[in-house]
């Protein structure tokens, strides 16, 4: 996804030639096909945890970059079903909570989902505000983490390494903007390392 973002910035540069653009476009198209057809790609597509989430993000980014917007939109609609299978109504992410670094994996998986949500806008869909009838949503997943972030309330799941609260800051910043919710920004400012 970072390569695709960088390529879009480079499009404005005279040093980034049409040949460069066409070469990267062809490579991204071939990689998208590989993700769909290779054994590794199919396994990641079927993964029920953060691997599957990041597959969705990566594949959607490639589809959008290569001009396959309709396919990207269909992929995002498929991703909503994956979201519903990964996030509980109370916001827990059970497959990430089962890890020995459950906070870290919960934040990483949610970061993948926020990436999918950002890409969904470009695809003409809305993952930010998607919510199942029983309440499964990105916002529920973030709200599950918020009470523990930098507070005296102990994280009740396994975490064998120290929790890095700052990892939640970019997600809180995005949430504050998308959902127009100042409490997320306030918490982000409290958790943000000095000088950032």
**CATH code of 33's domain:** 1.50.10.100
In a domain, 16, yes or no: yes
Average pLDDT rounded to a whole number, residues 129-140: 98
Q: Grade residue 194 by pLDDT with cuts at 50, 70 and 90.
A: confident
In a domain, 80, yes or no: yes
Share of the chain above pLDDT 90, in %: 93
For residue range 159-179, list pLDDT tens digits in order. Answer: 999 999 999 999 999 999 999
Average pLDDT rounded to a whole number, residues 61-65: 97
d(CA 114, CA 60): 13
In a domain, 12, yes or no: yes
Q: Is the pLDDT of residue 59 over 90?
A: yes
Q: Give the residue among 126, 111, 95 at the shortest CA–CA distance from 57.
A: 111
Q: Tell me which residue has tokens 């109504």.
A: 89
In a domain, 196, yes or no: no
In a domain, 74, yes or no: yes
Distances (CA, A) of 22 to 14, 146, 192: 14, 43, 40
**Angle made by CA atoms 119, 88, 47, in degrees to the nearest 5:** 60
For residue range 16-52, list pLDDT tens digits in order. Answer: 999 999 999 999 999 999 999 999 999 999 999 999 9
In a domain, 43, yes or no: yes
Domain that holds residue 79: 2-191
For residue range 89-126, list pLDDT tens digits in order. Answer: 999 999 999 999 999 999 999 999 999 999 999 999 99
Distances (CA, A) of 11 to 8, 23, 29, 136, 168: 5, 13, 17, 38, 31
Q: Grade residue 196 by pLDDT with cuts at 50, 70 and 90.
A: low
What average pLDDT does the structure give for the chain?
A: 96
Q: Tell me which residue has tokens 């507070």.
A: 151
In a domain, 172, yes or no: yes
In a domain, 64, yes or no: yes
The dihedral through the CA atoms of 132, 133, 134, 135 has a sign that is positive
Higher local confidence (pLDDT), 195 or 154: 154
What pTM was estimated for this model as a whole? 0.95
- In the chain, the number of structural domains is 1
What per-residue confidence (pLDDT) applies to 66? 95
């Amino acid at each position: 996804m970072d390569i695709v973002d960088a390529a879009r910035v480079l499009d404005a540069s005279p040093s980034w030639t049409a040949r460069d653009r066409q070469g990267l476009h062809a490579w991204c198209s071939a990689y998208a096909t590989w993700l769909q057809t290779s054994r590794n790609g199919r396994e990641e597509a079927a993964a029920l945890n953060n691997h599957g989430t990041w597959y969705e993000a990566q594949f959607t980014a490639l589809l959008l970059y290569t001009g396959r917007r309709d396919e990207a939109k269909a992929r995002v609609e498929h991703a909503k079903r994956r979201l519903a299978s990964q996030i509980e109504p109370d916001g827990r992410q059970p497959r990430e909570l089962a890890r020995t670094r459950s906070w870290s994996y919960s934040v990483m998986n949610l970061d993948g989902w926020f990436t999918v949500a950002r890409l969904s806008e470009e695809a003409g869909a809305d993952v930010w505000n998607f919510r199942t009838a029983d309440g499964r949503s990105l916002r529920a997943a973030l709200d599950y983490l918020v009470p523990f972030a930098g507070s005296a309330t102990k994280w009740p799941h396994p975490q064998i390494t120290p929790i890095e609260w700052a990892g939640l800051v970019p997600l809180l910043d995005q949430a504050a903007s998308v959902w127009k919710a100042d409490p997320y920004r306030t918490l982000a400012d409290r958790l943000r390392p000095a000088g950032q």
